[in-house]
Amino acid sequence: MGTYEEKLSILSEMISFARVDYSLKDSEHHFLLSVASNLGIGEDTFNELLKKKSPKVVLKSQAERIVQFHRLLLLMNIDEEQHEKEISTLHNIGLAMGLPPSAIGQVLEVMHKYPNKVVPPDVLINIFKAHYN
């Protein structure tokens, strides 16, 4: 995993995405806190990120960008609701990361085939691999 600044940026981006619908549900908060813990970010720092964004750090590797896209996809579906604004924002974030538009679209389509719309990591990776070949 990347630097501490990259981790803060990842989490900050996720917090912003969770608030696209102008609220932060308990399920989203718990998920974000879990991601923070997995990234080695303490609860105090997490609470600070809820108040103030961390500077944006561009993830260097394609693999890191795909993992972040997957985290955002999981976050979007954690509350079992998908709003057009969330889907559109996720699509735009993926484009800004440099991910192939066709792969992003395919992931957003296939998520409906899985329980709780959780796309398995191997399926997600295979979709992106196919679009890079």
Phi-psi map region of 61: left, alpha, beta (phi>0 left; psi -120 to 50 alpha): beta
Domains with residue ranges and CATH for the chain: 4-132 (1.10.3680)
DSSP structural state of residue 113 = G
- pLDDT score, position 132: 77
- pLDDT score, position 60: 87
Question: With a threshold of 0.75, does the pTM exceed it?
Answer: yes
- pLDDT, tens digit, for every residue of 34-63? 999 999 999 999 999 999 999 899 888 999
- pLDDT score, position 107: 96
- pLDDT score, position 82: 80
